[in-house]
Chains A and B, each alone.
Chain A
Amino acid sequence: MVLSKTATESGENVCSTFGSRYVRTVLPKYEIGESSIPKDAAYQIIKDELMLDGNPRLNLASFVTTWMEPECDKLIMESINKNYVDMDEYPVTTELQNRCVNIIARLFNAPLNETETAVGVGTVGSSEAIMLAGLAFKRNWQNKRKAEGKPYDKPNIVTGANVQVCWEKFARYFEVELKEVKLSEGYYVMDPDKAAEMVDENTICVAAILGSTLNGEFEDVKRLNDLLVKKNEETGWNTPIHVDAASGGFIAPFIYPELEWDFRLPLVKSINVSGHKYGLVYAGIGWVVWRTSEDLPEELIFHINYLGADQPTFTLNFSKGSSQIIAQYYQLIRLGFEGYKNVMENCIENMVVLKEGIDKTERFNIVSKDVGVPVVAFSLKDHSFHNEFEISEMLRRFGWIVPAYTMPADAQHITVLRVVIREDFSRTLAERLVSDIVKVLHELDTLPSKISSKMGDGKEKKMEKEKLMEVIGGWRKFVKDKKKINGVC
C-alpha cells in the first residue's frame, strides 16, 4: 500500500527533468554533494553543459579520429566493461591485440617470416609508445656503455625542433637531454645532415618524424639512415633511428609505398604509430613495434602468467579499456589494404581541393607540402593589418575550429593556420570552409586593424619613431602571448 504523501513529494517522481528542482540548484563543483540525484537529471545536466564544448567533427585542429561506423560503435559499447589487462579472463581480446601488432609490423616491413610473431604492443597513444621506445633505447645504450666501461650518466636524443611535445616530456621525465636541430624559414623539418652532425657518443637514438605536426611533411628518413650508416662505421657508436610515424604511419604505406622510411632501412629499430589518427580509431590507442626482440631489452619486460603460457608485457599503463583495441582490429579487417588506400586517397583529394581554394584567394602562402600527411597549413601574405589569430577567431563563429600556431625556433616569426583533413572531412565541407574563409577575409578587410586602433588611443602626441617601436613591441608581445606549445596532434 502506498501512503499518500504531500503534493510536492509525490510530484517529484513525476516531474519532467526541466520541471524538477534539479535544474534550479547549483551543481557541486568542489565537493561531492550530500545526496544522490535521479539518473535522468544527472544525465541531462551533464549533457547540457557539454553542449558548449566544440563539435568534435568540426575540430579541424586534430588528427584524431572523430567518426566510426555504427557497427564499430556497437562493438565498442559491448566491450566497454572489459579491462584490457585481464589477459587471463579475456584471452580473445589479448589475441586481437597480438594480431594487430603483427599486422602493423608487417605493414612496416619488419624482417619477419610468415609465422614469426612481431615484437610490439598496443598503448594508449603515441606518447606512451614513444616513452617505451625511448626507454628501450636508453637501456640498450646504458648496457652497451657499461660493457665498455664508459660513463652512462648523460644520455641524449637528437630530434628536430618540430617534435611533438611528448618527446620533450620523455626527455624531462626520463632524464635524457634533448638536442634539437633548429628549423629555418622555408625548412620546417629536421635536416638529416645537421642531425647526423649532432650525434655524439651519448646519443641513444635519432628520432625522425613521418608527418610533422606543423605542416604534415615527411622527414627524409632514408637520407638520415645513409648518413648515420657512414658515421656509425667511422665512430663505431651504432646510433639507431626511431621513426615517430604517429600520423604518417597509416598514410605512407597506402599512398607512397615506394617511399623507404620503415624497417626497410637497417638502422630503424622501432616505429610508433597512432591508431587514433589515420589508423581511424577513436582517441585512446597507439602502437609501437620493434625491429627484433634484441631491440627491446629483456629486463624491461614484465612476465605475467596467463592460461599457463607466458604473456610478456611492457607498458606504462595497466588497467585500461579494451574498446579501442577491438575497434582497431575491426578497422584492419573491415577495410583491408584497399579500404585504407581509398580513404587516404579521398583525404588527399579533399586536401588538394581545399588548398586550391585557399590559393585562389591570393592572400595566403601555402606552407604544407603536397607529399605528406593530408594537412593544409597556410599563412597570410600580408601581416600589416591583420593576423592569422584573428582569422582563426572569426572562423569560430561559423563553427569551424581552425588553430593558429607560431613555428618553433628558429622560425618563430612565422604563424600558420592549419587544417587537418580527416576521413570524415568531405568535399562539400572543404568547399564550405573555403567560402567561409573568403567571408572572413572580406569582414576583416572592412575592420580597422587591431594594431592601428591601439595606436589611436591617446598616443597622437608621440613621435613617429616611438609609435613604430610600440607597434613592433605590441606585435611581438601579441605573438609571444599566443605562442602555444604545440601539444596538439
Chain B
Amino acid sequence: MVLATNSDSEEHLHSTFASRYVRAVVPRFKMPDNSMPKDAAYQVISDELMLDGNPRLNLASFVTTWMEPECDKLIMDSVNKNYVDMDEYPVTTELQNRCVNMIANLFHSPVGEDEAAIGCGTVGSSEAIMLAGLAFKRKWQQRRRAQGLSTDKPNIVTGANVQVCWEKFARYFEVELKEVKLSEDYYVMDPAKAVEMVDENTICVAAILGSTLTGEFEDVKLLNDLLAEKNAETGWDTPIHVDAASGGFIAPFLYPDLEWDFRLPWVKSINVSGHKYGLVYAGVGWIIWRTKDDLPEDLVFHINYLGADQPTFTLNFSKGSSQIIAQYYQFIRLGFGGYKNIMENCMDNARRLKEGIEMTGKFNILSKDIGVPLVAFSLKDSSKHTVFEIAESLRKFGWIIPAYTMPADAQHIAVLRVVIREDFSRGLADRLITHIIQVLKEIEGLPSRVAHLAAAATVSGGEVKTAKMSLEDITKYWKRLVEHKRNIVC
C-alpha cells in the first residue's frame, strides 16, 4: 500500500523536465550525497553535451567519426570485454593477432607465409611510438654496453614537424630530441640534414608518412639510402622508424609503388593509427616490428594463457576490446578493394575542395597533391585579417577548422587545415567552399582587428605614441596572438 505523503512521493511520476533534478546545481567538485534517477542523469549529461562540437563537422581531426551500424552493434556487444583477459576471451585475442599479421603484410614485412608477425595493438599511435622508441633505446643501450661505451645520452633525430607524442616520448623516457628545422616552403624533414645530425648516440631516425601539418609524405627512401651510406662508413647501424600514423592506410592503397615501408632495409618498425585512415573510432593504433630481433626480449612480459605463452608489450593493460574488433570488421568487410575506393574518394573530394579554395584567389595552398587527403591553405595577404579570424567565423556555420602556425623556423606562416575523412562527401565540400567565400566577404567588410588595436593603443594611456611605437605594439600583439594559438593536434 502506497501512503500518500508529501509531494516527494510523486517525484518518480514527473517527466524529467518537470522534476527537481533540472533545478538542482549540477555536481562539479564534490560527489552528491544522494542518487538521482537514471533518466534524469542521462538527460542532464546529454543536454550539457549538446554544446560540444559535432564530431562529423570537426574538420580538425583525422580520427574516424562514422562507422557502419553493423559495426556499431559489434562495438556495443563487446563494450564489457576487458581486452587484457586473454584467458577468458581467446577469440578477441586471436582477432588482434590477425590484425597485426594483416597490417604487417600490408607493409611488406619480411616474415614468411605462416610465421606470426611481431607487433601489437595499442590505444593509439602515442603508445605505439613510445613502445617503438623504448625498443630502439634498449637495443642501442645493449649494443653500446657490449662495446663498453657510455649509454647516458641517447638522442633521436626527427623533423620539427613531428607530432607532440615524439616530444612526450623524448621527455618521459629521457632521450634528447634533435629536430631538423623546417623552412618556408619546405615543411617536412630534409633527409640530407637529418642524416647529417645522426651521431653515435642516435637511437633512431624517425620519418613521418603524412606530416600532421600539410599531409606530405617524407622521402623515406632517400633517407634510407643516405643512412645506408653513413652506416657503412661509421658502423653505427642507425635504424629508421616510420611514423605512418595517418599515411599507413593511404600509401598502400593509393601509392603502392612508393617505397617507404619494410621494403627499405633500414626501416625497423612502423606505427599506424587504426583510428585515422584505418577507419575505426578513437582508441586503436598498431605497431609492427620488422623481425623478432628488433624487439628486445627483456621488454616483453610473458603471460600464460590456455597453457600457451602470450607475450605482451604494452603500456596500457586493461582496456576495451571494441576497437580491436571494429578494426578486424573493417579489414574483412572492406578488403583491399574497399579501402582503395574510400581513399580514392577522399582524394577526389580533397581535390575538389582545393580547387574551390584556389578559385577565391585569396589563398596559397601549402598541402601537396601526393600525401594524406587534406587541404592546408594560408592567406596571401595577412596584413588586415588572419586565418584565425576566418576559423572563428566559420564556427558560426558549424564548421570546426583549426588555424595553426608552423613550427620553427617557419613560425610566421599560419595555415588553415581541413582534413578529408571518409565521411566528408562532395556535397559537404561544396558547401564548405560556399561558406568560405561568404566568410571572406564578411571579413572584408569589417575593420581590420590589427589596425583597430593599434588605434586603441594610441588612444589609451593618455600618451601620444609615435608611429614607430605603434608599429612595434602591433607586431608584439600579433606575435603573442600567433604564439598562443600554436595548436597541438593529431
Contact = CB atoms under 8 A, between A and B. Distances in A.
Interface of A: 27-37, 39-40, 42-43, 45-47, 49-50, 52-54, 56-57, 59, 61-62, 64-69, 71-86, 88-93, 96, 99, 102-103, 106-107, 114-115, 124-128, 131, 135, 153, 165-166, 168-169, 172-174, 274, 276, 282-284, 299-300, 302, 304-305, 308, 316-322, 324, 326, 329-330, 332-340, 401, 403, 481-485, 487-489
A34 B335 contact: yes
The range of chain B's interface size is: 35 or more
Contacts of A56: 80-82, 88-89
Nearest to A336: B32
Contacts of A124: 123, 316, 319
Contacts of A173: 134, 173, 299, 315
A73 to B, nearest CB: 7
A131 B316 CA distance: 10
A268 B65 CA distance: 41
A165 B307 CA distance: 19
Given A127-B316, A318-B126, A32 B89 contact: no
A53 B325 CA distance: 12
Nearest to B335: A33
A318 B77 contact: no
A72 B44 CA distance: 12
B456 interface: no
B29 A83 contact: no
Contacts of B83: 283
Contact of B490 (A318, A334, A483): A318
Contact of B172 (A49, A83, A107, A316): A316
Given A50-B78, A61-B88, A81-B64, A334 B41 contact: yes
B8 interface: no
Contacts of A481: 304, 307
A84 B113 contact: no
A489 B332 contact: no
B477 interface: no
B38 A401 contact: no
Contacts of B486: 305
B72, B275, B298, B332: most-surrounded residue (chain A CB, <10 A): B332
Nearest to B50: A92
B19 to A, nearest CB: 14
25 contacts: A30-B105, A35-B338, A45-B332, A47-B77, A64-B85, A72-B42, A77-B72, A79-B49, A80-B281, A82-B55, A83-B55, A83-B282, A89-B53, A89-B55, A91-B52, A93-B52, A96-B48, A127-B316, A127-B318, A135-B172, A317-B123, A319-B124, A319-B282, A320-B123, A401-B88
A124 B315 CA distance: 10
A241 B2 CA distance: 53
A15 B128 CA distance: 42
B332 A74 contact: no
A481 to B, nearest CB: 8
Contact of B315 (A65, A90, A131, A168): A131
A302 B336 CA distance: 39
B488 A86 contact: no
A28 B102 contact: yes
B148 interface: no
A30 B66 CA distance: 26
A333 B485 CA distance: 35
B192 interface: no
B82 A88 contact: no
A339 B303 CA distance: 37
A426 B123 CA distance: 33
Contact of A89 (B81, B331, B337, B400): B400
A336 B33 contact: yes
A30 B113 contact: yes
A483 B64 CA distance: 41
A182 to B, nearest CB: 20
A103 B28 CA distance: 7
Given A42-B329, A284-B320, A487 B487 contact: no
B346 interface: no
Interface in B294-336: 298-299, 301-304, 307, 312, 315-321, 323, 325, 328-329, 331-336
